[in-house]
Structure 1
Amino acid sequence: MSHPIDVVVTGLGATTPLGGDVPTTWAAALAGESGARPFDPEWVETFGLPVTFAATIKVTPDEVLTRPEIKRMDPSAQYAIIAAREAWADAGAPEIDGERLGAVVSSGIGGIWTTLEAWDTLREKGSRRVLPMTVPMMMPNSPTAYVSLEFGAKAGAHAVVSACATGAEAIGYGVDMIRSGRADIVIAGGTEATIHPMPIAAFAASRTLSLRNDDPQAASRPYDVDRDGFVIGEGAGVVVLESAAHAAARGARVYGRIAGVGLSADGYHITSPEPSGDGQIRAMKAALAESDVTAADVVHVNAHATSTVVGDLIEARSVRGALGEDSDHVALSATKSMTGHLLGGAGALETIFTVLAVRDRQAPPTINVETPDPELVLDLVRDKPRQLRDGDVAALNNSFGFGGHNVALVVTSV
C-alpha cells in the first residue's frame, strides 16, 4: 500500500570513475565505458599487492575544491561535498527553513585515508605531529556532517552504515524522514574513498577482487562465466529528495519518485549472502508492497551484481523469486561492470542510474559479458542501452552489503 506522502527526486549529483558530474557519468555509462585503470605502481612494488588496478575517480578533488577544503576533509567527505553541491544546484538551490532540511550521506568504511595516515604519522614522527583535525576527518559521520554544515540542514544529519548497501539505505532513510514529517527536503546518498594499499590488500585477502591485471577495463564482468571478482571503485552519489507537495509548490523539476523502500537482513554470514536469496527477495517484495506498483509494472532492475562467482547468481534467482513470471519482461543492468564497486557509494550512484533509466527510458548496458552464465535466468542488457517502454513504469535498484544487509528501492516515472 502506497504511503500518503509521495517522495520525489529533484536533484542529482555525483563524482565517479566515469566522470566528475552526473551528465558526464550517465553519458559514459550509456556508451559502455569502463572506469577501471592501473593505480600507482609504487604501491604494487612497495606492498606486493596482488591487484594492480581500480576504478579511480575521474576528476580529482583538487580540480574542484579549494585547498583549505581539501586539508580539512578526508577524501570520502570531499567526494560527498562535490556530489552534494551538484545535486543541490540541480534541484534549483531551493530556499528552505533549515529545520525542514535533512542530510543522510553515508560511507561504508569512513575516513580510512585519514586514519591510516594519522597512524603512520604517530609511528614515524610522534604524537605531537598528529593533526588536530584528525578526529573530525576520520569519523564515519564526517560526510553527512559537512553536508549539513554546507546547506544548513537542521532537521537531522544521519550516517547509516550497512557496508555496500549504505548508499541505498541512506536514501531510504531520507525517504522515511520526509514521510514521517521530520523534513520537507533531504540531501541523501553515499560516498567512499578506499583506494589505498591497505583496503586493497584486505579485499584481495578476502578473495573478492578480480585479478585480471592484464586487462583492467574488462575485469568487472557480472554474470559472465569467467567472472572472478569485483573491481574496487571510489566516488559519491547524492540525490535531493523532496515531498511531492513541496516540490510542486515551488515548481521544481522532478526526475522520478522513490515509491518504495524495502529492507531486510540475512542473519546468515558476515560476508556471504544467504544461498536461497530469501533476504533479498523479502527486501524487493517489501519495497513493492509499500509502493503503488506491482511486479508487472517493473521494466528494469539495476542489479547489485558485483561480478563475484557466487553473489551474482543468487541475486538473479532472487529477482525471479520476487517478481515471478513478470521478471521475463525486465531489462537487467549491472552497471558496476563500468563504474567498479563504489562500496558505500554504490547504492546511491546506482539509484541515480535507475532514476535516469526511468526518465530517459534507457536501461544502461552491462559490459564485458562475453559468455553469459548459463544459469542466468534474466534478460541481461549487454553492450548497448535497451529502450524501455512508454507509459507509467517502475524500476528496482538492489543493494546488498557484507553483514547480510539488503536494500531495494522502487523508482517510478512521474
Structure 2
Amino acid sequence: MAVTSERPHATTSSDGTQRQVRYGDLTLYSAFQPIFSLSHMRAAGYEALLRAHNSLDASVSPLDVFGRAARLGDLLELDRLAQSLHLENFRNLHCDREWLFVHIHPAALADQWQCAALLSELRRLGLKPQRIVLEVSDRQAADLRKLAEGVRIFRQYGFLIALDDFGAGHSNLDRIWQLDPDIVKLDRNIVFHASQRAQVARVLPGLISLLHEAGKLVLIEGIETEREALLAMEGDADFVQGSYFSRPAAAPVDTHTSGTVLQTLFEAYREKTERAERKRHLRLAPYVRALEGAAAKLAAGEALDQVCWNFLSLEDAQRCYLLDSHGRQIGGNVISHTRPSPREARFLPVSDAHGASWLRRPYFRGALNEPGRVHATRPYLSITEASVCVTLSMATMIGTEQCVLCGDVDWEPRQPTDLTDLPTSPEA
C-alpha cells in the first residue's frame, strides 16, 4: 500500500530506543554502519541503512522497498520517511560528535519543500545540519545542473555532501567538478579489483591523490578483507567502511572491538611495509653497487657504453643513460643486446631518448639533491616501454660538469604475488 494513500504508522520497539514505521505491510527500521577515520582510529560517522521486514517477519531488500515505492509513485515520500526515521534513531544513539550519512534522492535536492522539511526535522530533534552528510548518487539524476544547484543550496545550510558510488557505471571526474562534494565514496568494486589485479592496485593511490588534490576527502566503502583494508591504507584513504571493520547494527559501535580491529590492521600494515622495504632493498642492492661502480668509472674518464655492463648484466636491468645538469639526456640509451626487450619494437617512436629532457622526473631531482648517493624511485610507468620500472640515479662530476647517471630496473611482476607487498606511486 502506498504511503500517499495510507499515512505511515509509527511504532516504538520494545527497548524504547529504536523507532520503526509501517509502510503498507512492511515494517521499516534503521541500521547504522560505522565509518572509520584511519588516522583517528575511531568512528567518525555512521551510515544510515534502511531495513525492512514483511508481515511474516521475513527480511525484505531495501532495493525491493524502493522499487515498490517507485512503482506506486511514492519514491520521494519514502525517501523523506526514511530520513526522518534515521534521524530520530541516530539521535537516540547519543553520539555527540559523529556524522550521520543519509542517502537522499537527487530529486529531493532540487525541491525547496524537501529542504525545508529536513531542516524542520533537524530542529525538532536538536541536530545541526553540520552533523549530516547527504549521500548523493548522480546515477539517478535526470538533470545534473539541477542536482549541482541543489547541492549548492543544501551546503549553504551547513550540510556536507558525499558523492556516492564514484567509479561505478558512468561516474567520472567531470561529476567531481560539477557537484563539488566534500567527500567522495569510492565504489566497492574499485578496492575489490585492486585486491585481485596489480595494475588496479597501482592506480588506486594515484586516484586518491588526485581527489585529494581536488580538495576532496576519500572514503572507501565495502571493505570486507584485510587485504582490501591494507590497500585503503596504502592508498592514503581518509575513511573506510565495510564488514571487515563492523557490520550494520542498531547500536553504536563497540569501541573496544573496533579499536582492536584497527590496531591489528595498523600492526599488519607496519609489518607489511617493513617487509616490503627489506625486500625492495635486497632486490636493488646489486644494482646500486653496479651503478656506483659505473659512476666512479665515468668520473675517471671512461665512456658510458664501457662502464655500464656490470649493471646491464643483472637480471632485470633494462638500460643506462646519462643526463646533464639541466636534465637533458646525453647520447642514447645503453641497453643489453643479449636480452632485448619484446616491448621495444612496439614503442619505437619513443625509444630514441637522445636529447630528451628528464628535468621533471623525481630521479633527476633526487640525485641532484644528494650528490654521490644512489637515489631509487618508487615503481612507476616508464614512457620508454610503457612498463613499470624503478630508476636508480646518482649525481657525479664528469670533468667540470655535474651529470646524473641513471639505470632502469624492470619492476613488472613475473608471477602472482601479494599485491600489497610493494607500495607503489605514480612517479612517472
Q: Smaller-chain TM-score range?
A: under 0.3
TM-score where L is the length of structure 1: 0.25
- Flag the structure with higher strand content: 2
More RCO (CA 8 Å, sep 6+): 1
TM-score where L is the length of structure 2: 0.24
